[in-house]
Amino acid sequence: MVGLGAWSLVGAALIILLLPRSLEQCGHILLSAPIVRLGDQVTASCFITRNCSHLGTDWRVVWKLEPELHPRERRQHLPNGTLQSTITLPHLNHSRVLLSCCLHWGNSLQILDQAELQAGYPPTAPYNLSCIMNLTTNSLICQWEPGPDTHLSTSFTLKSFKSQDKCQTQKDSIPDCVPEVGQSHCSIPRKHLQLYQNMSIWVQARNALGTSASPKLCLAPMDVVKLEPPTLWALEPSPAVVPPQPGCLRLRWETWRPSLYIEQKCELRHQPRLGEAGWDLVSALPARTSQYELCGLLPSTAYTLQMRCTRWRLPGHWSEWSPSLELTTAQRAPIVRLDTWWRQRQLDPQTVTVQLFWKPIALEEDSGQIQGYLVSWRPSDQAGAEPTLCDTTELNCTFQLPSEAREVVLKAYNTAGTSHPTPVVFLESRGPPLGRLHTTARDPHSLWVGWEPPSPQPQGYVIEWGLSPPSPNGSPMTWRMEHNGSIAGTLLQENIRPFQLYEITVTPLYQDTKGPSQHIYAYSQEMAPSHGPELHLRHIGKTWAQLEWVPEAPELGKSPLTHYTIFWTNTQDQSFSTVLNASTHSFVLRGLEPSSLYHVQLMAASQVWAANSTSLTLMTLTLEESELHILLGLFGLLVLLICLCGAAQFCCRPSRKYSLWPSVPDPARSSLGSWVPTITAEPPQCRKGQWLEQTSETNQALTTHLYQDILQLPSLRDPGMPPITKITVLEEEEKKPGPWESNDSSGPGSLSTLVQAYVLQGDPRVPSAQPQPQPGNSDQVLYVQVLGSPTGPGPGHYLRCDSTQPLLEGLSPSPKSYENLWFQTSSPGTPEPLVPHPEDDSIFEPLLDFPLLQGLRVSGAEGLGGF
């Protein structure tokens, strides 16, 4: 930081030297404070003397803070003619920055003066002050934490003084210790110290914004002494000293010579050289001793040891850990169990060859290292030492014995001794055999072998497995002994390779005997064939093709087939497939198109693999000319039948029939219920000026006067009321109209008899049956035409609802069934076509085609559009 400020000042000096001669003494800067707290306000003034008056009036003062320009400034003319330009920086956020007072003259910017601004924080109190008396350098070394960066140049000073009491009063001062720049430790030489006299020590930090001090320490130099670590050595064996026990180490150490007069205590730590075990600490080693025996370790194991010491019964610091010492513990005799198995082969009547196998099973964690194995046999008629048959480091041995030999002894040994002898008895096969033996490949590197346990239950099993046939290098078979006789299977994972055939042998073990061995062969992983079966075309037709193939012969190590899949694709890239059983050797492709090209492929699959056969390309046969004619004929008949059915359906539907020609029903065979719409309007009310005409073959007039002014029929649009489905005409004997000439005051009770059969209610969609003629009324007409036109011509012989005038005189006869009055031209003396008046409630436009219903006035005729 100091270097940066020096370079800034040098740069400013160079810039000032480069100014024009006329501006050298033109102005200078005065700061309120060159060093402030970071973020505080700074005020700077630039004084421009009269020497700059020759510049004229075309100039102004500009402030520049590093690369930024600050045009906002305050000007003031002093009495002596000096111009003062002042700028205030509200927040100084740079720890070190250069402020320039510039003169903007013409198109150039000239620097009149520059000043460096610094910002930071006052120093915080140093903490974690600690001191150590180092007897090697013979000095008191103190170190501390300086605290956060202040962004300013901060100096630290280690201060101290001597005191006889608990540092409450100062007796003699000690020269200050100033560390080098950037360091936070300092050493007080031995000449300024009293080793057993208290002294007060603290650290003072100072910069331009303030001073701070750490908490004071009160100590005596010898109370904080730190010794050098001792040096470890292995204790040399001697005839007079008993060798260490297995799992024990003996060592000695030498303390640092300058500390020989200091009573010390030490700590020892150790860990195995190999592995990831942590350090084990042995504390409180006996004082005034320089050797130690460490026990409880693993036998025949290399260990790393370290030691450190401190003052005994007095305050002090622990020394650093000594350099490492590596020692190995003594061995112990092997503590193992030896599982054995053997094979015998009769060499001649007096000699048998035995191949013995064994496996050591550790009984303890530190069972001892095994260096070799001994196999011995002692004849029953001889005494003394047992002759050795094998001394080997392998786990098997082959030797010869007399045919009458039934037992050998196996031992494991090392330099510390031998294990307990393991007798090996050659049992005879007299026990019951195993049940069904089976095996399954779990994965490419394991085999599961299972069996049915015999009865009685064995004590254990011996499982052997190896390559079949044996490998050329003559590697022995792998074996394992299971001591649990209740199990019914085991997983073999040792020495299993994929795609290999293994012979597995299982032998049950009983008390003093064994059962016969059972053998089975299995593959650890079955292989896939190089290709699938070859596909052939046997027969082909126009829409079918018969395929066949010859399955591959089963092979050892090849997984059996489970299914076939046939794929075929046409020229439009449409794919089809089917799955067949593994026993199928032929298939017929059906539904093919004539004269088409197909690509066929067969895939054979098992549980673990799938293989494709060679692809086959085939083309179906072309249709013959006679077959083509038959197909075209059948297609034409089908099209014709569809057209006839459509036409019949189109013509038979009433909505279609009435849209093609007018519907003129036969009056003698018509019924009003067959064409009344499902939803009709309200029945019309008889108005004044309406009249009724009835025609029949006998021209017998029957009139019925309904007093609609009194009788109000329910609306046919009301969904709660069923619509009118039939109108029945009531007959009346010929008589004078006197009884009909009643006034409007007639009660509704007199009309109920007349109209009781007028309205029949029911579902309009159900056709109404034709009313049966009553006896004696053979002239009854079942068709009624109601004509109503108050403006129609005539002599005025009509019946009003409230009138007693005679009925319907001089009317023209009814038109024939083929006549349509709507299209006839009116002639003098004939009635005009009865066209509804716009002022009436006539909505019978669809009924005007019906000559006998032109005058029917029924509200809601929009449902009669079909007529």
Give per-residue pLDDT as tens, 517-536: 999 988 887 776 667 788 89
Q: What is each CA distance from 444 to 463, 493, 520, 527, 558, in whole angstroms?
A: 19, 10, 18, 11, 14
What pLDDT, on the 0 to 100 scale, is given for residue 59? 75
Task: Give the pLDDT score at 141.
Answer: 94
Q: What is the mean pLDDT of residues 454-462?
A: 92
Q: What is the pLDDT of residue 145?
A: 93
What is the per-residue pLDDT for 93?
87
The single-letter code of the amino acid at 99 is L
Q: Encode pLDDT of 192-201 as tens digits.
A: 988 888 999 9
How far does CA 80 lie from the centroid of its chain? Answer: 83
Q: Are 686 and 801 within 8 A, CB to CB?
A: yes
Give yes or no for a cis peptide into 851 (omega within 30° of 0).
no
Calpha distance 485→509 (Å, rounded)? 8
pLDDT at 185 over 60: yes
User: For residues 644 and 195, what is the distance between their CA atoms, to the nearest angstrom?
Assistant: 133
Residue 164 is predicted with a pLDDT of 80
285: Cβ contacts below 8 Å, ≥ 6 apart: 265, 266, 267, 268, 292
Higher pLDDT, 367 or 701: 367
Which has the minimum average pLDDT: 624-633, 750-759, 813-822? 750-759
Whether the pLDDT of residue 386 is over 70: the answer is yes
* Strands, E assignment, 93-182: 96-105, 108-120, 127-134, 139-145, 155-162, 172-177
Contact (Cβ atoms closer than 8 angstroms) between residue 159 and residue 132: no
Query: What is the rounded average pLDDT for all residues in the chain?
Result: 75
Q: How confident is the model at residue 778 (pLDDT cuts 50, 70, 90)?
A: very low
Mean pLDDT within 26-35: 86
What pLDDT shows up at residue 786?
44
The lowest-confidence range among 8-12, 337-341, 571-575, 701-705 is 701-705
Looking at residue 123, its pLDDT comes to 93
Instruction: Say whether pLDDT at 735 is over 70.
Output: no
**pLDDT over 60 at 103, yes or no:** yes
One-letter amino acid of 230: P
| Phi, psi for 204 (deg, rounded to 5) | -115, 130
What is the β-pairing status of strands 108-120 and 35-37?
A: parallel
The pLDDT score that the predictor gives to residue 651 is 78
Give me the half-sphere count of Cα atoms (radius 13 Å) on the Cβ side of residue 169: 3
**Strand ranges in 571-713 using DSSP code E only, listed in sequence order:** 575-581, 586-590, 597-605, 610-612, 616-619, 691-693
Average pLDDT rounded to a whole number, residues 465-485 = 81
Q: Pick the closest to residue 737 from 825, 828, 805, 818 (CA basis).
A: 805
